[in-house]
Every structure is written in C-alpha cells, then in structure tokens.
Amino acid sequence: MRWLATLIYVGLLSTGLCACADGALSSIQRPDSSPNFASQPGEVQTQTGRDASAPSGFLAFCDRNPGECRIARGQPGQIAFTPDVWATLEKVNLAVNNAVRPLDDSEHYGVTEFWTVPVDGEGDCEDYVLAKRKMLILLGLAPPALRITVAFNKRMERHAVLTVVTDHGDYVLDNLQDQILPPGELGYVWVERQDPASRTGWVALN
C-alpha cells in the first residue's frame, strides 16, 4: 500500500490538501468556477427500484478486502455539497486520473476482471473508482454517498465511474475525463449502481 500512501500525500498536498483502460484521458478541463449552488444538476433518476446483483469483480474485491466494503450504520447517504467539498472532489479526481496509468486487467493480471485499488500505479476503470473512493473516505466523506456506478459509455463499452450523491444532486468522477459532471451531461447509458437501501447493496438502472 506504499504507492497509495505516497499518492495520497503527494497528490493532495500538491493540490492544497494535508472505458476503462483503453480510453485516453482528455486534456485537463478545470471548471472556471464551482457549480451554481442555487440550481440542482439532477440525479441518476433512472432507478427502477429493482435490486441488482453486484458485479462479480466487486464481490471478489470485497472478499479480499472486507474492510473496504463494510459501511457503519448511521452514516448519511448523501453529502452536504459545499465549495470545500467541490474542491476536494476536483482535487481527488485529478490526482488519481493523473497518477494511474490505464491498463486492462487481462494484460495487467492475466484475467478478464480483477477489481483492486491500483497500488502499483496501473489499472482499469474500476481501479480508478476504488482509488478515488478510498481517498475521499480518508478525507472524511461518507462512504454510503460514494457509489460505484456501471454504465455503457459513448462507445457503448461497459464502464465504471464513481457517483457522489449530494444534497445538490449527483456528480460523476470519471477516469475518461477530468471535468466532474452531473450524470445527465455524460451521454452514458446507466446500468446499475450501489445503493445502501437495496437488499443486495446494488440497484438496477434503466
């Protein structure tokens, strides 16, 4: 875990805080300002209410790392969205996108699906998500509001992102671009995501 500790320290310190692999990152797009807090950007409202089976890669990750998947009771399912929270999301998204080199699981591990925190600095989309989620939790954000979400991207490839649920709406942290956007602005087809209210911990999306 030494690589991750170094990433957290160097990446966050340098930013003011103490499809997967084959998609090239876009150039860094820093928003000119924080979102307009008077408006709501929208949520992933395509939930059908149906429980979904968790992805096999996620289940295997949790078997290997139960502490990463255990959520204490009483934690909020959304985050109060403030300028400080927005700045934290931007900095973590940029830090991980810049620190991890895209690499497909089949080449990296010799298997088609292996979810893990990318401690060696290489990984595919799920690994970016797990790294961002871990960093945000270490920075004090509530785990139930940091939800792994599966979609088909614009090239209709299965893709994982991190959705942050806030009282201002949902925002997506994506390894394919550095700008954080509401889900409706990405042009993705949403498939499923984590939901603490679901019996299985995941809910199907339309």
**Beta-strand pair 146-152/189-194:** antiparallel
Mean pLDDT within 129-150? 96
3-state secondary structure of 48: strand
Contact 100, 20 (CB under 8 A): no
Q: Give per-residue pLDDT as tens, 54-93.
A: 999 999 999 999 999 987 778 999 999 999 999 999 999 9
> pLDDT band at residue 17, thresholds of 50, 70 and 90?
very low
Q: Give per-residue pLDDT as tens, 83-112.
A: 999 999 999 999 999 999 999 999 999 999
- What is the fold of 43-205? C8orf32 fold (3.10.620)
3-state secondary structure of 148: strand
Contact 163, 183 (CB under 8 A): yes
Distance CA 74, CA 102 (A): 36
The model's pTM: 0.82
Contact 197, 187 (CB under 8 A): no
Q: Both tokens of residue 43?
A: 């949520």
Distance CA 199, CA 75 (A): 17
Contact 142, 24 (CB under 8 A): no
